[in-house]
Each structure stands twice: as structure tokens, then as C-alpha cells.
Structure 1
Amino acid sequence: MRSTLLVALACGTAAIATPALGQTTDDQATTGSGAFDPSQTIIVTGSRVSDRTVADSPVPVDVIGGEQLQNSGYSETNKVLNQLVPSFNFPQPSLTDGTDSMRPATLRGLAPDQTLVLINGKRRHTSALLNLNGSVGRGSSSVDLNEIPPIAIDRIEVLRDGASSLYGSDAIAGVINIELSKRVGVRGTVTYGQYRTRMDGVDAVTGVVTGPGGLPVVTSAGSSPSGDFLELQTTGKDRVRHDGETVTLATSIGLPVENGYFVFSGQFSDRDPTNRSGADPRRQFNNVGDPRELTFDRYNHRFGDGKSTDYNFFVNAGHDIGTLELYAFGSYGIRDANAAGFYRRSNDSRNRDYGASLTDFVPYYPNGFLPAITSEIEDVSGAVGLKGEIGGGWNADLSVVYGSNQLDYGVVNSFNTSIGSPDSPERFDAGGMATGQTVANLDLTHPLNVDFMKSLGVAVGGEYRNENFKIRPGQEASYINGPYSAYGAPGGSQVFPGFRPNNAVDASRDSFAGYVEVDGDVSDALSFQLAGRYEHYSDFGDTLNGKVAARFEIVPGVALRGSASTGFRAPSLAQQFFATTSTNNVAGTLIEVGTFPVSNPVSVALGSKPLKAEKSTNLGGGIALNPIAGLSLTADYYNIKVRDRVTLTENLQGADVVTILQNAGINNVTSARFFVNGVDTRTQGIDIVGTYHLPDTGFGSVTLTAGYNYNKTKITDRASLPSLPGLILFGRTESLRLTHGQPRDKINLSADWSLDRFGITARTNRYGKVLSPGGSNDLAVGPGDGPADYTLGAKWITDIEGRVTLVDGLQVAVGADNVFDVYPDHVPVGGAFGTAGYYLPYSSFSPFGFNGRFLYGRLSINY
């Protein structure tokens, strides 16, 4: 059915792709050479009163044009922003359950849920996924920016300043506002790409070294037969991979509507999985002389991007009715994804078939198995509003926005050990989660005439928001402790036990807010902004926040600017009510972890307290330079203090924890975690951004951009929470994830050149050092001093693309992302590091992933 819709869409696009519609562009500032100049773009983010350019804004705002988003081999908006915004970070972890299929991004080193995302200035709903396992952003939910295809976007405005007083909860790190295209005409792209890479530091293995009698050579032995390691035969060269084939079809159709606009955009993307695993040297079978060891495929894990098929559609429409504009926009997206789990060997206790024998070890899957999590993610949003002049000098904007995100989990190539053969399924419906959000806004603005002011305006408004979070249980076989649990067999579908009936939840809350903003120009040189917001939550009570910002132009082209504000973030419903059991890979060891709501008796016994809202104080100041035509340079310092930061505890283990779990009737789970207001943090940094449009000398148009971010987060206080003796709720591992899990610094450099029918884009990004913390939980041990700590060194990642316009409206592009095939440093092996680095050679903390070089070609039409 979906394929039929896609073919119909493509045929319809081709049928109406005629020059008769004409070619127009959205209202973007350009230089004399026609290049997009973000410094002169009128921005809508950061103030509801004044239409200011980026250069005149009292707070830092990055503007990224739609064309910049498309001059890349990536069709994921998050990946492109990672290339273009220095303070934006998008790691791409693997073996992290649902996070493999919906990866979070961060701004200024804060949590994903501390950045607010808007579409056309309206709040976007978050995803249903709660990131839990081993990734940056652990314990948070985020907006899935990859649901928004680049072809649907006119521009992205990134406000790098606290904005809770303007927009409400979540806007602590800043605001990302995506303005949808209103372009008339037909555009379409077909992109094909593939990773063609040589894995740095990972040997290509051809088999097992054999000794006397043709038996595999054992290089080391543990305390049990399953701990034996075999000597592998290598080629002496790095492993080569050609995988991750990606096909993307995108189209945008803008109809020539009189006194209005109507744009339909759609994107289909099909991505094959990548595999960056190394060879597994562990003995796979119980018997030392098992001949299957000689033919076994040592690349048994799948470590990298999962399989993903995406359909995303957007509509953006509006029509003038007298002095008013009736507008509507909305989206629909669905993603089918498949992410691999941790490989279970034939001799793994999780592969024991108790149904075949209670006395002897009989594997359920004779050769071992690789379970996988399937995710079907359905995302829906719709907005309708009316804005314009209503008389008396007042302008109004009345809108209602609804959005929902539903994530349904499946498990394939697995089984429930506690059920065994022949009764256990191998495929499971593991249940799902859903979030919903309805927002109603009324915004009013009015200019004021004051003799001593050049201009002055006031904005007042109100907002109502309703939020909902649901968990749906899975089928019984996905979570049940079957009859063989009495013999120690773990229950539930392996890799992801399904949601249980007692995990089911349907929680809602409401909030009401009112705000006022005053924005004015005292003179051509001095402007200011004042804002305040009151908000009441049905579950967290009241909060009052304010902001002051100003800009002073010392001399033409040189301006100082600064801001001070307070902010807040109410804990999400998922952080309050989420509950499940999952399998975690911790340094190559699988453990069953239960996640419990703060009100659950298990959490209370371990030291939980009712959650409080996060509160922040943001200070910023900088300089903006426009010394010559075409050159813009800004430098801004920021200081963000967050109190009562909501964090997920460590995976709490030990005999006392197991006893509490068993007393609660929870067996086969050895670890527990829950949410706490764990720490206070201070994040400081510097953003430097420059853009230069070179004068046209006859050799083409050249635009150079550069960005630098330095970011440091420090834990300034820890919550005094009661807990079991010797139990640290938020210890060293999670602390270092917050403070050292993202690059301390990052550099973005790019150059765009065009002449007649030709164009080249070159970008290079330097990602600073990142620490991967080991398992030590001793807070007295400094960063890098733990026995299993290791540092991922700084790396430069370079992308290049060349374009040629064959005939008017038809363009061909070829390019390479990560053209020099750079990988993060190899995970150490041996000693405190364990053995997982043999077959999982790269760290999920890598800020640029670990897939290597991506080659692509693109065909574009534009009429």
C-alpha cells in the first residue's frame, strides 16, 4: 500500500513538473551576488514584537537556509545541523534499544529535552521514546527532527539563549524554530548513497587458527568453557565494508494560489543497516573441538545504523481574508525500523532451551542468535490559526496545534527462555508508548508611540497546553515469567521484554500561561527587550520567569549585546510514569534492568522522592561585528545554571537491591533505576560564528563560514537523597556522562562556490575530545583516572560536494561525507576494559558516529 502511494506521488509530481508554474523563492535576504545572507534575514524567533535581522538581534540566532540543508548526502535534518551549528551535537549510538531508531540531539551540551523546538513559531510535540540506555541524553525525550524533511524547510533559526519567559518549558538551552517553505513551483530530488569504508584498527578475519588434530587454538581460558578465546586468522589489513545503501526521494509542490500559498512536501527514505562490528574471538559452542567453530561467521554482531524506512509528509498553507490570514500546517510520518541487540552465543545461558531438557544444556538456537527490536513510529501533527490586524493598531495570532507520536515495539529472532520450546514464540508484540500534546495560543502585539523612543512595542498573550503519555502492554509471552523461571530461566522476550499490564499508564496534565513582552529601540544604536511569563501546571504548581536583553551599537558595525533570564522545565510525564524491564549491555555483560516510576514502592525503598521542576538562570553577553559589506562575526559567552536537574539514576545493583525487587514480586531482574532531581549543574561556553560573502571578481560567488564552540559543564551540587548504605544513586558514570560525554569544543568550517552552472560545497568539522567513563562509581576518582576510562581523541570530518546544472531546472550532484574515512579511536581491550572491544570496536560516545565514508549522487529538478 505504501509503495503504491509513493509511485502515485512520484507520477503526480512528474505530471505537473512544468515550467508554467514559474520559479520563485521564499523571502530570504541575499547579497548582491544572489547568495543567501543569514545576517540580513528577518527572524521571527526570540521576540514576538519586532521584526529584526540576525545582525540587529540582542541575542544570538543562527539562520540556516533551506539550500544549505540540501547540499549534503544526508537526508536526516539532525545530521545536517550537526555539520552546520557548532553548539549542536548529534551522536549516533548503537545497541541502545529504541534510541537506535530515534536518536536525540543536544544544544550547548545540555539535555535534549532542554531545547524547545517550534514549527512556524508553534511548539512541536516530543517523541514517545524515553532514552534509557547508554547514550548521550540518557533519561530524556526529544523532538524527532528527522521527521522533518529538508525539502520542506525554508530556513531554520537556532536561538542560542534561554527563552522560557517567551515560550515556556524546555527553552533552557535555546530554541530551534523551523520555518516551512512557501515556495511556488515544483522541486524534486533523487539521492542514492552507500558507505564505502575501511574500518580503522579492525582486522579483517578469515577464520580460526587450527592446531594439532585440526582443533581451534585456544589463546586464553576463563573460569568456565564459555570464557575460552580462540586465535583468529587475519589478513593483516583492516576490514572493508560496502553497506548502508540509502535511497531518498523527496518532492515539494507549491501551488500558485492567489492571495495565499499551498505547499505539499514529501520524502521517502530507505536505509539499509550498517555493520561496524569486529570479529568475535570467543568460543561459541560448548565443546572445545566443535567443528562448527571453524565455519562460524565471527562477525556475529550488527553494530551501527539499523534498517529504517521513512515516509514523511508536510503541508503548509495560508490564505488572506481581508486583513487576516487563515493558515494551517501539518505533518504525517511513519518509520519502520529494525535495530539489532547483543548477540547470544550458542553456549549462552540465555540460549538454553529448558523445554528440551531440564538436566542438560540444549541450545534453543543451535548456532546462537541475534535478536532485534523493531519499531514502528507514527507521528501526526496539525495546526490551524488566524492572524493579522484586528483594529486599533493591534495584531493578533490565534492558533491551536495538536501533535502525537506513537512508538510500537516488536521483537524478532528471539524467544522467552522461561517458556522454552515448543511454546515460546520467536516474534513478539512488546507493546508501545504514545505521547500527545494540544496547545492553544492567543498572541497580541501593539506598537506604542513614545516621544523619546524611536520605536516601542508590546506583546501580551496566553497559552493552554494539555499533555498525555500512555504505555500499552505487550502480548503475554513478551513479559511473562514462564514455568522454567523456577529453574532460573529469565522471563520475557530477549533483548526487550514487553511492557507488563502493571506498566500500563494513561497520564495527563494541563498548564496555563500568560506572558508580556516589551521590545523597543531607544535610538539607532540602543535596543532592549523585557519579558515575563507566569505558568501554572496541574502537577507542579506555579512558576514565574523573566528576561532582559539589550544591544548597543558602539560605532556602526560594532555592537555589544547581552541577556539575563530565568527558565524552567517541568519533568515530563514519561519521567514520572515510565516503567519497564530491559536488557542492558554493560561493558560486554548483559544485565536485566527494571525502570520504575518515582512513586513505585521499589523506587521509594531505594531512596526516591517526588520530582520537582528544573529551574535555570541564563546569563549571556557578546559582540557582533559587521565591519565591511558581506562580513558578519559574532562572539557570545553563556553561563547556564540548572537547579534540581532531572536525571536517571545509575543501574543500581547488589544483594540489597535484588532483595527489594524480590520482595516486590519481581524476579530475574538484578538492577533497578528511577528518576531523581539528582544534581545542580553550571554550563559555560563561548560561541563564535562568522560569515563572509566575498566580492564577486568574475570567478564566481564565494561564501565562507566558520563556527567555534567551547562548552564545559560542571556539577555544582548533589542532592542529599536517602538510600541504602553504600548505594550511590547518581554516581561517577552518570556524572561523567553529563560533564564529559560531549565534545568540549567543536569547529565548523565551510566554503560554498558557484559560477554559472557549477557549484562546490566543502565542509570540515573538528570534534573535540570525549571521555567514555568506565564502571567505577567512586566519585573521588577524577575524569580519565578510572581503570576503564578512555578518551576519544579529537577528529576532523570533511565533506565535499560538486554540482552541475545540465539544463535549466535540472541539476546533478556527487559528493562524499567523511571523505577521508575517519573513525573514532578504537575501544581498548583487555584488563579492566574487558573483551567487548574485540567485536564492538567503537564507542557510542563518538560525536560523529562510526560509519566511515559515505559516497552519494543526487539528481534534482527545480521549476
Structure 2
Amino acid sequence: MKRIIFRSITTASSLTAMLASSMAMAQTPAPEAMTDVEEIITVGSRVQGLSEDALPVTVMGADQIEALGATNMQDLLSHIPSIGDFEFQDSNTGTNGARGDVAGVNLRSLGTGNTLTLLNGRRMVVHPTFESKNGVPSILYNVNSIPSSAVSRIEVLRDGASALYGADATGGVVNMALTEQYEGFSASVKYGGSENTSYDETTLTAKGGVSINGGRTHLGFFATHYDRTGVMISELDTLYSNLDRRGNPSIPEEWRDDSQLNNLSSVTPYSVFQLGSLNSQGRFVSTGSRHVNQALQIGTGVGSQRFNFNEEVQITPDTERSNLMLTLSHDLDNGINSFSELTYYSSDSKTQRASGPLDSGLAYIIVPSTNYYNPTGSDVLLTRYRPTEMGARVIKVEQDSYRVLTGLSGEFNGWDWESAIWYSAASADDEEFNRMSKTLLSQSLAKTTPDSFNIFGGPGANSEDILNTVRISSIQKSESTLASWDAKFTKSDLFSLPAGDVGTALGLEWRRETYLDDRDPRQDGSMPYDVNGIFDESDVVGVSATRDSSASRTVVSAYAEFVVPLTSDLELQLAGRYEDFSDAGDTFKPKISAYYSPLDMLSLRASYSKGFRAPNLPQMNQGDIIRRILNVEDPLRADVTGLDIDTGALYRTTSRLGNNDLKPEHTDTVSMGFVFQPAGALDGLMVTFDAWEIEQRNVVVLLGEGYELDVEAQFGSNPNVVRAAPTAQDIALFDAWNAANPDDQRTPVGPTTNIISQYINADVRKVEGWDASVQYSFDAGQVGQFRLRTDVSKLSRFEQQAGPVTTDFVRRAGNPEWRASGSIAWMKNNWRSNLSARYVGSVYSTGLYNTIASGVSGTVDSNLNRVYWDVDTWTTFDWSVGYEFVGRDDMLNGTNISAGIRNLSDEEPPFADVGNGFYQALHNSYGRVWWLGVEKQF
């Protein structure tokens, strides 16, 4: 793929050079008046003539984008309340998921796979690496691959759109419209930096355009380079950097001493192990637990050492990103217009997480009695150990993507038509360093000489030479492609009714999607761990086995849309789309919407649509995978044994089975609202309100390991829970429990060796809420022009069924009930300024709770007798000011200078009892960031 990309870039660079050499100096235009609140909307309908107010669309224009000073799409889109959280973003360091320079849009909090993202009105290629949400593979469209400085307009259709745009549009559509038909040449530089951390960023941009052949041909280009220095979590307040938050003065006193606030890891540089031997069934029979204490002595039991792994964690990655866009349009002699575009994106990202932990759930490693450093005289099963001298696990991700598109448009017999063909591809190479091979580690531990690996010596016990004998890196290579063709035909006057002309849009689409997930040979089963009869498909310590997978699908679609004026005040939008998936069957989904204007100042709108989302390619084709998971308690054994593996403190093995019989998800969406635009003294005011309701059926879920264990506990057996036979020690512990608990008698069972769960269509999801917006533009004469805007989104219902249980996710762990944004923009002559605010409502954290009787404040769950920790609201302000030099005869003419502050009041993210101390999908730790930008037009 990279050879193809290099050829594309070589061609693009040549065209850019030709363009730059031929570009004439453009006269610098005078400053324009402030943009009106109305925008030309291209998303939501393909029929010209549909009233713009008929659609629940949020538009962010070029002036708003510039005023916010955001340098990546995630930060920019977070100012649109209906967008939801960014459940997948660049802070992720987990092994089996998308890492690096990524961000996926999550409209209505339905998940990234329910939001279709368009670039210039056409489908983007999905990100090559999929991510898991609640254990289910989910795709995302990487909006960070689009440079925010190249975007002229963002359109968010807050309504179900499968009937118009097909699968993945069940939650809505986000369209990024890039700058087109630019004349002249300009270059800019922007620098920003945080007051309190090492975070800084530099953006270099150049763009140009020229019309030739008497205006019939237009050439354009856009290029940008972005460079960011990341942040270590150790740079933040101890509330975030220290995993033991007990006693922290930022925690309310009623919660301050709660033991749940101690999140220090029990996996430390001081090893914990079991004495014993391996029996004929491959199970280690323990004769007792031991640990190495800080005096490097062997103690009984598991010890009390704890480790703050946040000291090694990077919370924001170092990132370099480059983008290039070339455009060409030409009016042919026969009235046909041709257009082409090439876009290219490349990024390099580096971050790190703590040195790798090793426990018996992650790697079943036995240290023989003959090991040079083994002082016990017995074989040892390594239960917990973290060799910090190995160093932090460094993660480097290289990403590339490109799109080549060409098309024609024209008019024939009163029909406007357009057709295009495009090919898009994306790749990601994700490599993690300072990992350990289980095979190499076992070989080193088997040595009887001083060059063997030493787990008994505490921190720094192993030299660099010894570490290099077990050190490896693991790499994951991912690719995705999209080949597509479309043709659309529109006519604004198909036929006439008494109230006006009926408009229509007809279209055909074809696309082929592929994905490839190529795991490291030590992870995909090619180089398994097989020592002393112990077998594991993964040879990488701390990484579950995942086999390589690849798949493709072809989708053929046909759609029709009609805009029907019933009266002078009432019009309907009727749409339907048929789609045929090569691997998921076919479907037809309709949409009907109505727009009614009983008064000049008041319009009412409503819609009903059906949605469709086929299972994504990883869900259907990933196959069976092995995962090792933490924090899943065994309800039959935890109280009895108290062992870490039973309480969930250690990793346990699970199997997640693919399902080729998954059915598509189906959605019903209802939306109702109004638009109020008075004239007279309040001319320039626009108020909108839309209430919406979404019901999804056949949602693809993984019931999960905890669910399978609960079923076994409730019904006495579950074939999906596989256990070892109870040992004599197990039986003795159960006998003691039964003697002490006559009302809770338990049959002896052994520990789990595997828990099996499968992707299924099971759940119903019901989500409701409303959006409101107030915009007001006015001219204050000598004072200048003003534009005020406020957007509010409320999530009033989010019910998710999981088996027999229905859970309300409003305010739960990342789904705020309220979100809002607002801005005040001012412009006078060459000056402009903008003050904006963003509000994220309170949520509660399920990982920190107490009983109702404790009297602590928080969110009460009477069913479980719990009070959950409330994560505070978060309000941040951004400010910017700019001045443009025009009408001058010196070098300053055409210079635009802007400066601003993001997070003006330096608000820290509200605390949540998670590893980093806050929800990164909702909040950020940048702090107050100052920025300065200079643009020169030539």
C-alpha cells in the first residue's frame, strides 16, 4: 500500500510545484461582513429547493472554526453538543484497539459505528484498526485525518439518515466540507503551548488556487503539517498522577478515606509466587504463597507492596501529522464539468505506558528450582511481578490514508446529474516496544548460571544484557480500503402540483470494502508459547492471542427522494433506499418528514425514519479470540477462597466467539421540532428545538464474562463456564465455608479455566432527548457586528437491555444528561474577537460507590443499595482576537494575525476514579493553552 501512496504523493507533489509556479498574485480582498446565521446546507437532502429549515442540521462555519483555534478535529467537534463523547481517541494505550492519532464521532452516544462521516459529501474509508466497545468490535471514521484548518464547514445531520445515506447513518451524519475554489496563495503558522505542562503544538499551512483557460479550469492545493509534544501524567496534579487518592484534599472528606480510592497496582517489582509443582493435568499444585519484600527477603503470603504505574504513563501522545489535498475542475465544451481530488494523510504518534506486568493470568510462567537465583529449593509459579528495569512500554503508530476521486457533472433535459468514482485506502502500523516473550523468558529462567533472569532481586536486579535476551517488540499491521462509484440525478420540477413543483433525486451507489488485521507472529499463533506442556497461542507477556483476519463485502444501493409541496405552507420529504449486502442480505428503509410554516416566523418539522446497520466486517469475520481480563469476580469462589484469581485481582482467560449468523441492527427514529425566526426588531434571531427518539433492535452485544458467571451461580451450571476439577485444598475451603454459613451452602468447584461468550443479536436500546439552539446576529452600528449562539443537548433516556437486565445509561460513566456550548462573536472593520464556552454535565462513576446507609453524597441506586461518586460538571472558556491588514502598500498587506487562549480559566478535568483520574472521552488535561497565528495572503 505504501508504494501506491508514494506514487500518489510523487504525482501530487509534481502538480503542486506546477501550480505554485503558475499561480498569479491574487489581490487581497477586503474583510467580509459577519456571516449570517443561515448557511448553504448540503447534507440531509439531495433535492434542490427543500427548505433549509426543514432539516435538523447543525452547521459550524469557517469563521467559527477559525475563532475556536482548535488544531485537530476532536477538539473542534467537541464544541457541538450533539456529537457526544469521543469513546475512541488518541489517549488509548490498550493493546487490542485503535491507537495513535485517532478520533471517532459518536452522535447521540450510540457508538461510532452508528455515525456516518462524509468528506465533501461522500463516504470516507473506515479506520484500519477497529476498537472494542463493551467487548464488541466497533469501527470508526478517523476525523483526525482531516485537517481542521482545511475545513470550510461542518454539517451535522441530527436525524436518522439510512434512507438517504445507507448503513452506518442510524445516529446521523457528519459532513466535512473542505475549502474549494480558493483563489490566490496563502501561508500560515500557528503555535500554541500550555502554561503548566510540556504540551505544545505547531501548525504550518499553505494553500493556493488559480483559474486558467479563461476561468474554465481551476487548480487548487492545500498542505499542512502539525507537530505536537505530548504530556506525561506525572506533570499533572497528584489527584491524577498518584493512583492512591486516599487523603487527597481535592476529594470531599466524606469520601477521602474510601479504600476504593487506592488504585495502586499489586503487580510490583517485588515478586509474588507460589511454591509447588506441576501435576500431570498441567495444573500447578501450590504448597503456599511467598513474596519478596523490600529488604529482598522471602516472606510468607502475598505481601503488601503496591506500585504507582502512572509514574510511567504518557497521557497525551507526541504526534506529527501531514496532509495534502489537490483539486482540479474543468468545464468541458459540451457543458459537462469534470472534477478530481487527491487527499493524503500521514501521521506518526508516540506514547508510552507502564512497564509490563506479569501474572499467572497473563503468562503461566514456572521458575524451576534450578534457577540460579531461586532461593526456595522448589519450583515456583510466578503469580505477580513487574520488571521495571525493562522500561516503559513505548507505542509507536504510523498511519497513512489517501483518497483519489474523479467525476463528471452536467445537465440533460432538465435533469442535473453527477457521477464519481473513487478509491480510498488506509493503513496503520502499530508497534509496541519493551515487551517480553514468554518463551525467551522461560528459557532464561531455566538457566543455572548468573546470566539467568532474576525475579527474586527486586528493582534493577537484571542487567541490560539479560533484559535483551527476553525483550521483544510486537507489531500489528492493519489495512482498510473503499472502492466506490455513485451516480445521482436531480430535478427540482419533476411535475407540478397546485402548491408548487415536486422535486426529486434518484441515485445508484456501489462500493466494496475490505479490511486486514495482521497480528505479530508471536500473537497470531504462528509462534506460540509451548514450554513444559504449557501451551498458549500468544507468546507475548500481557497480550491475548488474536489470529489474523481479513474480509471484504460489496454493497449495491439505489435510492429515491421526493420533495412534495402539499400546500404553500406544507411540504413533505419522502425518501427510500434499497441496499444489498453481499454478506448480510438486503433491506429497504424509508423516511418521511414534514415541514409546515403556519406563520412567517414559525416553522414546524417532524420526521420518521427506519435505519439499518449491517454487522461490521470484524464482527462477522474476526473469528474466535482469546482475551485475558481483570476485575471479573467468580461468585461461587470469591468469598470462599479469597484468592486473587477468584476476586478478579488477577487476569483470567476468556474466549469470545465470532458469529457468522449475526443479523443487521434495525432502528426507528422519530424527530419533532420547530424553527422560530421573527422579523422586525428581532430580525436576525433564530430559535430551534428538536425532540428525538431512537429505538434500536438486534443490537450486537457480548453478554460478557460476568454475565456467564452469574448465570452459572443462579442456575447451578453453565456450559460456557469451564472449570478445573476442585483440588483437595479447594474442597477443604468449601467445607469450612459451608460449616460457617449454613444458609449459603456451596458445592465445591475448581477455578475457571475458560469463560466462553459469543457475539449475538439480543438487545433493544431506547434513547431519547432534545436539542435546542438560539442564534442572534445584529449590527450595533459604530460598536460593530455581533453574533450570539447557544446550543444545548439533553439526553433524557438511554436504556440498554443486556439479557434480562435493563440498564439506564443516562449520566452513567460517560453519558452526560446535559451538554451545551455558546459563543459571542464581534467584528468591526478589520478586527474580530470571539468568546466561546463549552459545558459538559455531571456523570457518575460506577467504580466508586458506598452504601446508602453511609450517608455519602452522590447518585443513589436503590436497587443495588449503592451511592455512586458524582463526576462534576465541567465548563471551559476559549477566547480569540484577530486583526487583518488590508488596503496597505507594504509587506503587511494581506496579513492576518490572530491570538487566543483555550481553557481561559485553566479548569482541571473533574475527578473520576479511573486510571488517569478523569474521563478522557469527555474532558482533557491540556490546561490553559495560549496560541498565536499569522497568515499571509499573496
Q: TM-score, normalised by structure 1?
A: 0.79
> Which residue is 2:205 aligned to?
250
d(CA) in 2 for partners of 1:427, 1:616: 46
For 2:824, give the aligned amino acid.
A
d(CA) in 2 for partners of 1:191, 1:260: 32
Of 601, 611, 614, the residue aligned with 1:557 is 601
Stretches of structure 2 that go unaligned for 5 or more consecutive residues are 235-240, 245-263, 271-291, 298-303, 445-465, 633-647, 713-717, 726-750, 850-859, 886-891
- Deviation of 1:415 after TM superposition, in Å, equals 1.3
d(CA) in 1 for partners of 2:62, 2:848: 43
C-alpha offsets along residues 319-377 of structure 1, whole Å, 9 cap, x if unaligned? Answer: 11232211122321122223433444799997989597584689784636321332222
- Deviation of 1:700 after TM superposition, in Å, equals 2.0
> Which residue is 1:448 aligned to?
494
> Is the aligned partner of 1:279 residue 2:242?
yes
Give the 3 Å change call, closer, same or farther, for CA 731–851 of structure 1 in structure 2. farther
For 2:689, give the aligned amino acid.
A
Aligned partners of 1:100 and 1:339 also within 8 Å = no
For 2:602, give the aligned amino acid.
V
> Which residue is 2:111 aligned to?
111
- Deviation of 1:556 after TM superposition, in Å, equals 1.0
> Which residue is 1:712 aligned to?
796
> Which residue is 1:259 aligned to?
216
Aligned partners of 1:59 and 1:563 also within 8 Å = no
C-alpha offsets along residues 90-119 of structure 1, whole Å, 9 cap, x if unaligned? Answer: 355544444442232211221111111122
d(CA) in 1 for partners of 2:545, 2:473: 8
C-alpha offsets along residues 194-222 of structure 1, whole Å, 9 cap, x if unaligned? Answer: 2333xxxxxxxxxxxxxxxxxxxxxxxxx
C-alpha offsets along residues 28-66 of structure 1, whole Å, 9 cap, x if unaligned? Answer: xx9xx7112242x2222111112456xx33121112112
Alignment of 1:313-712 (within 5 A): 313-321=324-332, 322-344=334-356, 359=374, 365=387, 367=389, 369-389=391-411, 391-420=412-441, 421=444, 426-446=471-491, 447-476=493-522, 480-484=527-531, 491-494=538-541, 496=543, 499=546, 503-578=547-622, 580=625, 591=651, 596-599=656-659, 610-628=661-679, 629-651=683-705, 660=722, 674-712=758-796
- Deviation of 1:129 after TM superposition, in Å, equals 2.2
Task: Indicate the SS of the match to 2:77.
Answer: helix
- Deviation of 1:790 after TM superposition, in Å, equals 2.8
- Deviation of 1:740 after TM superposition, in Å, equals 5.4
Greater CA drift, 342-351 or 473-482:
342-351
> Which residue is 1:760 aligned to?
833
> Is the aligned partner of 1:177 residue 2:175?
yes
> Which residue is 1:209 aligned to?
none
d(CA) in 2 for partners of 1:696, 1:797: 28
- Deviation of 1:280 after TM superposition, in Å, equals 5.6
Of 844, 847, 857, the residue aligned with 2:922 is 847
> Is the aligned partner of 1:66 residue 2:71?
no
Give the 3 Å change call, closer, same or farther, for CA 547–130 of structure 1 in structure 2. same
Bigger Rg over Cα: 2
Aligned partners of 1:139 and 1:648 also within 8 Å = no
For 1:695, give the aligned amino acid.
D
- Deviation of 1:405 after TM superposition, in Å, equals 2.1
For 1:253, give the aligned amino acid.
G
For 2:616, give the aligned amino acid.
S
d(CA) in 1 for partners of 2:515, 2:723: 25
For 2:764, give the aligned amino acid.
D
- Deviation of 1:745 after TM superposition, in Å, equals 1.1
> Which residue is 2:187 aligned to?
188
C-alpha offsets along residues 168-202 of structure 1, whole Å, 9 cap, x if unaligned? Answer: 111111111122211222233322222333xxxxx
Task: Indicate the SS of the match to 1:146.
Answer: helix
d(CA) in 1 for partners of 2:318, 2:653: 26
- Deviation of 1:705 after TM superposition, in Å, equals 0.8
Greater CA drift, 170-179 or 70-79:
70-79
For 1:591, give the aligned amino acid.
Y
Of 135, 156, 159, the residue aligned with 2:157 is 159
Stretches of structure 1 that go unaligned for 5 or more consecutive residues are 198-241, 600-608, 721-729, 829-836
- Deviation of 1:618 after TM superposition, in Å, equals 1.0
C-alpha offsets along residues 503-525 of structure 1, whole Å, 9 cap, x if unaligned? Answer: 22221122222111111334543
Give the 3 Å change call, closer, same or farther, for CA 795–364 of structure 1 in structure 2. closer
C-alpha offsets along residues 473-519 of structure 1, whole Å, 9 cap, x if unaligned? Answer: 313378644355757999433454574xxx22221122222111111
d(CA) in 1 for partners of 2:396, 2:810: 27
C-alpha offsets along residues 359-398 of structure 1, whole Å, 9 cap, x if unaligned? Answer: 4689784636321332222212222211110x22122111
d(CA) in 1 for partners of 2:670, 2:40: 24
d(CA) in 2 for partners of 1:584, 1:37: 53
Task: Indicate the SS of the match to 1:367.
Answer: helix
- Deviation of 1:529 after TM superposition, in Å, equals 0.8
d(CA) in 1 for partners of 2:318, 2:592: 47
For 1:77, give the aligned amino acid.
M
For 1:641, give the aligned amino acid.
E
- Deviation of 1:265 after TM superposition, in Å, equals 1.5
> Which residue is 1:206 aligned to?
none
d(CA) in 2 for partners of 1:700, 1:353: 76
Give the 3 Å change call, closer, same or farther, for CA 857–344 of structure 1 in structure 2. same
Alignment of 1:742-757 (within 5 A): 742-757=815-830
> Which residue is 1:832 aligned to?
none
d(CA) in 1 for partners of 2:934, 2:719: 58
Q: TM-score, normalised by structure 2?
A: 0.73
Aligned partners of 2:786 and 2:824 also within 8 Å = yes
> Which residue is 1:146 aligned to?
144
Aligned partners of 2:23 and 2:210 also within 8 Å = no
> Which residue is 1:207 aligned to?
none
Aligned partners of 1:264 and 1:315 also within 8 Å = yes
Give the 3 Å change call, closer, same or farther, for CA 395–144 of structure 1 in structure 2. same
- Deviation of 1:747 after TM superposition, in Å, equals 1.0
Of 85, 93, 96, the residue aligned with 1:89 is 85
C-alpha offsets along residues 265-319 of structure 1, whole Å, 9 cap, x if unaligned? Answer: 222122222122513666644432479x99x998523152122221222223321
d(CA) in 2 for partners of 1:595, 1:327: 50
For 2:908, give the aligned amino acid.
Y
Of 288, 291, 311, the residue aligned with 2:294 is 288
**Identity rate, percent:** 21
- Deviation of 1:243 after TM superposition, in Å, equals 1.6
How many residues were matched structurally?
765
d(CA) in 1 for partners of 2:834, 2:504: 42
Task: Indicate the SS of the match to 2:130.
Answer: coil
- Deviation of 1:639 after TM superposition, in Å, equals 0.8
- Deviation of 1:742 after TM superposition, in Å, equals 1.6
Give the 3 Å change call, closer, same or farther, for CA 374–698 of structure 1 in structure 2. same
Task: Indicate the SS of the match to 2:169.
Answer: coil
- Deviation of 1:584 after TM superposition, in Å, equals 5.7
C-alpha offsets along residues 115-148 of structure 1, whole Å, 9 cap, x if unaligned? Answer: 111222211121122222679xx64211111101
- Deviation of 1:636 after TM superposition, in Å, equals 0.6
d(CA) in 2 for partners of 1:153, 1:461: 27
For 1:463, give the aligned amino acid.
E
